[in-house]
Structure 1
Amino acid sequence: MQIESLIDIFLIIDILYSYLLDKNISFDDIGLPIFTSDMFLNEYPDLVIPFSQRKNKRVINRKRTVICFFDKDQHLYPRLGKLFSELEEYKSFMGVIGMDITFTDDMDEEWQKIIALLNQLFLAVLAVNGIKIVINTRSAGLAADCIWKNVPLGVMAASGFLGCDTLDSEEDLSYLKKILRILPEKLIIYGKDDLKAEMQLSTMGIDYKVFKDFHRLCKEVRHG
């Protein structure tokens, strides 16, 4: 199925819902899937790489590589339509970070909720097929208590810092507050460094690890 319109997005949501109901996954009263701790990866990988680059020569060992979707939406929407046919591909990797279809705080709140739901349904399908998952911390303008109400405390999480502004000051606690809502046992940061955010995480005792994004990896190899 190709995702080319808003109608297609609603159709794929219905398809994923029906699939998950058949797999006996539970949903809360507003329709978000309920995750359990055993679904999550609990060990850092050696490499984090976008799905679009999964066949790159830098992927030496798939069982030590985590797939992410910190990529352009044009690379992500096809994954929704091909999710079921690509399950075996995901199973060959150590784990998968949640889908990252873009939603931002300047979008209508209801539309933000729809995209957040779509991202979580995608992740839930992976989980019920035995693929270890990592929760994506994208939240835009949505309250953390709402978007992650069904995510257990202490599971592994991941934040994509590509395209994000760094914190203006150490007093800006917006990122830290949402991370404290999850209290991740381990936190993957993908992309550029944000020294102020990292200092806040360290101060609060959050175990995190920064993974260079694919383009920086390529640049380092080329000029190293």
Structure 2
Amino acid sequence: MTMKWRCALIQRWLPAYPDGDLPSFWQAVVRSHLEKCPACREELAGLEAVVSSIKAAPRHEPDQAFWDNFNRELHLKLAQSVPEPPPARGFRIPYYLLGAPALAGLLLWLAFGYLNPERPGMPPQPQLSQEQKALEQTPAIPRLAAPAPAPEKSEAVVMVSQNGQDLHGDDDLDMDGDLDSTLAGMTETEREAFLKKVRQHEKDGSCTRESLIVSWA
């Protein structure tokens, strides 16, 4: 088994052994093995016989047509084997840089707005003088309402307030007139106020019902 494995290894180097093309180490190993192995010597003898017969055969030189055809096919193969140059590509911006100008503009706008918060479109507010500021800080004096005109006596004999009390004093009463004629020219509200004052005077004892009239202005 060991001999067969060694013979197979030696026979791989036998074709290069007759011409002396083996390295010096393998040349010595093959020579030592051939001295001990008849099977490998027989294999080497067969190879030498084939080489001798090839060398003894006449050589035929190819004609010119062969070389012309050979050169044409060779140049065709070489031309086909050369790769075509890639088409020229124009200047193209990478896709990840397409948004760079917009991003830079946004950053500049944010920086300008942060450093200068005033709006450029709005004019600056005018500065007020110290006198104007003092006038603005002074509280406004409320205007007094004009006094209401005095009611004419020809329009009403007795003015009655919202709670039914008359607004005239006791000086409006006169003791020399007729009560019925006086009440005939009054409204319902004026009558009630007048009669209320008459009753008050009767309780006080200052006058009687028969001697009361209303003085008209």
Q: TM-score scaled to structure 1, two decimals?
A: 0.17
Greater RCO (Cα-Cα under 8 Å, separation 6 or more): 1
Larger fraction in strand: 1
Larger fraction in helix: 2
Q: TM-score scaled to structure 2, two decimals?
A: 0.17
